Amino acid sequence: MSVHARTHVRVARPSRDLAAAERFWTDGLGLRVVYRKPADGEPGAHDLLMLGLPGASWHLELVGAPDRHAEARPTDEDLLVLYLEEPVPGDLVARLEAHGGRRVTSPNPYWNEWGVTVEDPDGYRLVLCERAWTNTPGAP
């Protein structure tokens, strides 16, 4: 077994408020809930929310456990970058802000030139980049 181009990727991070995070990622960005599991009082369990897009090879997992160590600790460089391959729609940024996001300036000038950075309700940064990306060697 080896990693291949179709290997599914899960980005997992803690959340202080899963309801607020869900509004940001679903109503703001347009992701869908692909799985949800409440802790239901099980010892050592946590609330789980997985968000993604149908057919995508990645999803975002948010873990909530207010009584445990799942405290979000984002930095300015904890980025989830989405390469839109087109100018960032102003209405999308407005929707993200209306659903708990906060537009911020990136410490990296590249992201300010080529995209928009929005903090989610937990303080993690989403970069909407107007450029394209490929994993082809030698490509930008």
Structure confidence at residue 6 as a pLDDT band (50, 70, 90): confident
Q: Is residue 66 pLDDT above 60, yes or no?
A: no
pLDDT at 26: 98
- Report the share of the chain in percent with pLDDT over 70: 94
32 neighbors 26 (Cβ within 8 angstroms)? yes
Query: Mean pLDDT in the chain?
Result: 90
94-122 burial code (b ≥16 CB/10 A, e <16):
ebbeebbbeeeebeeeebeeebbbbbbbb
More confident residue, 111 or 78: 111
Query: Has this prediction a pTM greater than 0.85?
Result: yes
